[in-house]
Structure 1
Amino acid sequence: MTIAAVLFDVDGVLLDSAAAHRRVWTSWSQARGLDPEKVWTLTFGRRPEDTVRDAAPHLDPTTERKALDELLARERGGFPPVDGAADLLEALSDSPWAIVTSGDRDSVTERFAAAGLPLPAVQVYGSDVEHAKPAPDCFSLAAARLGMAPAACLVVEDAPAGVSAAVAAGCTVIGLTTTHAEASLRQAHLCAASLAEVQELLLAEGLLAGS
């Protein structure tokens, strides 16, 4: 593969947010008489309002998004960096990279600062596109903002919805098995168990400083 830029999902890839999100979605589901386990499976890689539409079509997605944001705001300190994130991003400091997330700008900015991670010049959030993951729009937009063709971009994703979106956009995809088993990420071109493995792959591609 010929790679010129890297596009990272955030939750489960750069930030270890599973425990915090699990608490939020469990609390929200129980308060509305929904099965937390069923709701949880609908959350990965997606905007909260899109999960609400599927999990509880009788509820107003906009209203519920506000309620979910309030619950998430109580989880300060609950978003540590994934092991290897700081080292990988430092190694990419002279190379084009971006984040592509279904989250919102203010929350991600706050969490990156708390985790001690840098933010790239190109950031694509759920509100930047009409159709979020698993639609390809967010990755196509990130590539365009970087001045790259999607085919020149490597995406690192942990969620099936994100993998589907990246593949549909025409990117090469590494499925990071931090939140899902490899079998659930079978659309990815290859899988890695850690960001250290991702860093080794990028080193071999000559995309990292010192390679």
Structure 2
Amino acid sequence: MTVDATLTARGLLLDMDSTLVNSEAVVELLWQRWADEHGFALEEVLAIAHGRQGWATMAALLPDRPEELNRADNARMLADETRIVEGVVPVAGAPEFMASIVALPHALVTSANIALTERRMDAAGLPLPSIRITAESVTLSKPDPEGFLKGAAELGLPPEDCLVFEDSEAGISAAKSAGMRVVGVGPRAIAFSPTAHVDDLTRIRVEPLTDGRFAVHVLR
């Protein structure tokens, strides 16, 4: 492997689903059920759903539907997602990547709630960062930048010093709106013009520097 790009940062902000944890089988199963109930094709739903909180996806697809119905559907879906962990595995390279950043400032920024976050990270065998921004932490879902801005604030860093790892259009858009650079992870991410792109986390190497920053090497 050779270095394709090097990005420097003082903190990392990490999405969870499809960035660290492969939970797509469960996600597709439950959204298929919802899509069937409401007359949508699964592909139509997933084009919006990735990266967003469930209620926000429902609101985008059914703009005239009362919010309380979307919130209720979202609560039921979260309960099912928390219960079903078959097929939830780490994204390739995620265990090694998480081990390499354990001593560096980093936070999880996910659209999942606390219970689902803990369940999926545990199912994938990944350590849970001490700083995490979950659905309970924000009033607005990605693509709004609120979650990433809160993550940077929790790290005590300005947005421009943070590097985001994301897979979805909503997440990449949120990071860019927050004034942050983005490493897109996985095949979906490349279409949304991240700062750099990797197929999975086996292509990332992190190197501490002497001035409090660290270098993130993107390999090809």
> After TM superposition, is the score higher than 0.5?
yes
Q: Tell which has more relative contact order, 1 or 2 (C-alpha 8 A, sep 6+).
A: 2
Decide whether aligned partners of structure 1 residues 6 and 124 sit closer, same or farther in structure 2, where only a CA change above 3 A counts.
Answer: same
* Structure 1 residues 92-171: aligned runs within 5 Å: 92-171=101-180
49-58 vs 12-21, greater mean Cα deviation: 49-58
Deviations 1:162-196 (A, max 9, x none): 11111111111111124x052x221x111111212
Counterpart position of 1:192: 198
Q: d(CA) in 2 for partners of 1:204 and 1:193?
A: 23
Q: CA RMSD in A?
A: 1.8
Give, in angstroms, the shift of residue 66 of structure 1. Answer: 2.1
Decide whether aligned partners of structure 1 residues 156 and 168 sit closer, same or farther in structure 2, where only a CA change above 3 A counts.
Answer: same
Which letter maps to 1:21? V
Counterpart position of 1:207: 214
Report the secondary structure of 1:42's partner residue: helix
Deviations 1:117-140 (A, max 9, x none): 111111001221112211111101
* 1:45 is aligned to 2:51: yes
Given the alignment, which residue of 75, 89, 94 partners 1:80?
89
* 1:11 is aligned to 2:17: yes
Q: d(CA) in 1 for partners of 2:114 and 2:98?
A: 19
Report the secondary structure of 2:129's partner residue: coil
Q: d(CA) in 1 for partners of 2:86 and 2:142?
A: 26
Q: d(CA) in 2 for partners of 1:27 and 1:71?
A: 11
Q: d(CA) in 1 for partners of 2:208 and 2:201?
A: 14
Q: d(CA) in 1 for partners of 2:207 and 2:201?
A: 12
Counterpart position of 2:40: 34
Contact 2:26–2:85 (Cα < 8 Å) also in 1 = no
Contact 2:8–2:214 (Cα < 8 Å) also in 1 = no
Decide whether aligned partners of structure 1 residues 129 and 70 sit closer, same or farther in structure 2, where only a CA change above 3 A counts.
Answer: closer
Deviations 1:34-86 (A, max 9, x none): 32221121101100000011122325211111231243244223321111111
Structure 2: 5+ residue stretches without partners: 1-6, 216-220
Which letter maps to 2:27? H
Give the number of equivalent residue pairs: 203
Structure 1: 5+ residue stretches without partners: none
State the identity %.
30
Q: d(CA) in 2 for partners of 1:47 and 1:11?
A: 12
Counterpart position of 2:8: 2
Counterpart position of 1:68: 77
Given the alignment, which residue of 166, 174, 188 partners 2:183?
174
Contact 1:92–1:207 (Cα < 8 Å) also in 2 = no
Using structure 1 for the length normalisation, give the TM-score.
0.89
Which letter maps to 2:33? S
